[in-house]
């Protein structure tokens, strides 16, 4: 199985085939609107704006499993992200990243790159960088700012 075999529900309720992102460098992030790391939305949007025309996508997956920091509905999350951070990258419907109801996208990502303390996602804004073939290149901790990933994105995109 590859990432491209999976489907996820977008924030607007429509299903999105991840195969639509074939050939793109991806940064997949579990997000939250009421977290100490929430300002990272700004950095994620900045990377997206800078590199989207070169084949880069940020995919945001809101999750409410950590400290109830994503309590809103999909519509509220989208509005918050657009109003406060100008988010224009794809946001998906709220999911779970750990436990029995882990979304298949995060099951796949965690199976390819475990964290320091095993496969579990430890907090919001864990980031997975994937190359154009859908391979997980790196996993970044929540405290890693998006700007710290820029050099690796550039390498994957090629100068």
Catalytic annotation, residues: 35
Q: Rounded to the nearest 5°, which phi and psi values hold at 102?
A: -55, 130
Q: Name 82's bridge partners.
A: none
- The torsion of the CA quartet 73, 128, 47, 84, rounded to 10 degrees, works out to 20
Four-residue CA torsion sign, 12, 15, 21, 26: positive
Strands 127-130 and 56-62: unpaired
Nearest CA among 4, 27, 33, 28 for reference residue 17: 4
């Amino acid at each position: 199985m590859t990432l491209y075999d999976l489907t996820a529900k977008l924030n607007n309720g429509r299903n999105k085939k991840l195969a639509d992102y074939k050939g793109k460098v991806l940064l997949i992030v579990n997000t939250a609107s009421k977290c100490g790391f929430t300002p990272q939305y700004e950095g994620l949007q900045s990377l997206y704006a800078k590199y989207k025309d070169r084949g880069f996508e940020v995919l945001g997956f809101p999750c409410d499993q950590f400290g109830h920091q994503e309590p809103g509905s999909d519509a509220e999350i989208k509005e918050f992200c657009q109003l406060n951070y100008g988010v224009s990258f794809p946001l998906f419907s709220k999911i779970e990243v750990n436990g029995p109801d882990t979304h298949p996208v995060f099951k796949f990502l965690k199976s390819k790159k475990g964290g320091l303390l095993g496969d579990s996602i430890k907090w919001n804004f864990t980031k997975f960088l994937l190359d154009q073939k859908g391979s997980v290149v790196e996993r970044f901790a929540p405290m890693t700012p998006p700007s710290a990933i820029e050099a690796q994105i550039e390498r994957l995109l090629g100068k």
